[in-house]
Amino acid sequence: MTIQSILQSLHTIQEWQENTYRHLHANPELSMQEVHTSAFIKDTLLAYGYDVHTIGGGIVGILKNGEGASVLFRADIDALPVKEDTGLTYASHITTKDAHGNPVPVMHACGHDMHIAAALGAAWALATHQKEWSGTYIALFQPGEETASGAKAMLEDGLLEKIPKPDLALSQHVLTTPEAGKVGVKAGAFLSSAASLKIIIHGKGAHGSMPHLSIDPIIIGASLITKLQTIVAREINPFDFAVVTVGSFQAGISANTIADSATLLLNIRAYDETIKAKLIASIKRIAIGECQAGGCLQEPTISISDNFPLTDNDEMLAHQVITAFENYLGKENVVSYPAMSASEDFSYIPRAFNIPYLYWGFGGFTKDQPIYANHNPRFAPAIYPTLLTGTKAAIIAIMTYLKHE
Ligand SMILES: [Zn+2]
Ligand SMILES: [Zn+2]
């Protein structure tokens, strides 16, 4: 009954937790700039008695409480360059500046504010109920998830040496399905691996009336974009999952000038690292070939960024946590998820520790609420019951592995 009694105690912090969520929502910070958010998390964990470390822009709170397993639970903390359009009383009016000094609106459009508030609630519960469990609890707050930079930054800043080695890692995300109040879990490959690519085609600019003096990068780029769509259609097994998207194609500024170069931005997704490697190799081959066919004097410049690893849920953890969710949230509130084409960077950390990992979702929208997807300017999950469900799910999963009656 230990877990049940911990869950029942959550009502005592409900108001604080909801206010915390509103505060975080109104004060979002972009990836790897989470200064105030980190400070808030740090102060809160210190007040709960955690041993707190700042690592790679993230915060790790450690609670050593006798013999037993060491369990890591992670929440991501960054927001997005999105202009909020929810009309909420606690909407964000924050703008920051980009590298060129231009204003950039900031919004918690992916619900990471919900993740922080839920993880702080779980941190409170574990600190307050120390007599009822034993082991080590590690609360990890990760920066820069949206740009796939935060997990790597924490590793580069010595995470492996600075904290005790966990036996397993857990994390969660608020999503548009299932309905608020429910959780969704999938064993095995859950979120796709992803990467972004930038291709610069080096042409030769000329007057628009003199095409024979140019090497037109727009013609080469147009052909390249069409050809790139044959990778999934012709080179990948139809039973395997792969996506190749050209999200941006920019060249030239006027009607009567042939551009000197063209820049394409691509995004790719796969559930298998070998398929991801195949996509990248094919993109490079086709880009080089198209530039050669178009008469470019130079090979295209190709760079890779936003490299997200596969999120591959450990089968055993998945089954154990599903059983625990069913016991404490009710069978009707636990759904099984399909694989999703979204991506996440936290897997770098459990991989570096060589420990099993589980990532699940919880619903953010009630039946009578309009649903706007994550990253939409109107993304506005219902605080209740979403925050309570996220907090409960975190505690149930964590406590499954900490020693208790
Ligand atoms: Zn996101
Ligand atoms: Zn997210």
pLDDT in tens, 118-171: 999 999 999 999 999 999 999 999 999 999 999 999 999 999 999 999 999 999
* Total residues belonging to the chain: 405
Predicted pLDDT of residue 169: 98
Predicted pLDDT of residue 163: 98
Predicted pLDDT of residue 350: 98
Q: Return the closest-CA partner of residue 295 out of 213, 209, 203, 218.
A: 203
Neighbours of ion ligand 1 (CB under 5 A): 110
Q: Which residue type does 89 have? A: T
Q: What's the distance, CA 344 to chain centroid? A: 4
Q: Return the closest-CA partner of residue 385 out of 405, 356, 365, 357.
A: 365
Helix (H/G/I), strand (E/B), else coil: 315: helix
Question: 188 alpha carbon to ligand 1 midpoint, in Å?
Answer: 21
pLDDT band at 98 (very low <50, low <70, confident <90, very high): confident
pTM: 0.89
Q: Structure tokens of 241?
A: 């999952």
pLDDT at 378 over 90: yes
Which phi and psi angles does 72 have, rounded to 5°? -105, 130
Which phi and psi angles does 197 have, rounded to 5°? -125, 145
Neighbours of ion ligand 2 (CB under 5 A): 110
Structure confidence by residue, pLDDT tens digits, 186-207: 999 999 999 999 999 999 999 9
Angstrom distance (rounded) from CA 200 to CA 290: 12
Predicted pLDDT of residue 53: 98
Question: 381 alpha carbon to ligand 1 midpoint, in Å?
Answer: 14
**β-pairing, 206-207 with 257-258?**
antiparallel
Task: Report the alpha-carbon angle 268-115-96, nearest 5.
Answer: 70
Name the β-bridge partners of 247.
none
Are the C-beta atoms of 242 and 266 separated by less than 8 Å?
no
Question: 311 alpha carbon to ligand 2 midpoint, in Å?
Answer: 13
Q: Return the closest-CA partner of residue 275 out of 245, 307, 243.
A: 243
Question: 343 alpha carbon to ligand 2 midpoint, in Å?
Answer: 9
H-helix or E-strand containing 257?
strand 257-258
pLDDT band at 289 (very low <50, low <70, confident <90, very high): very high
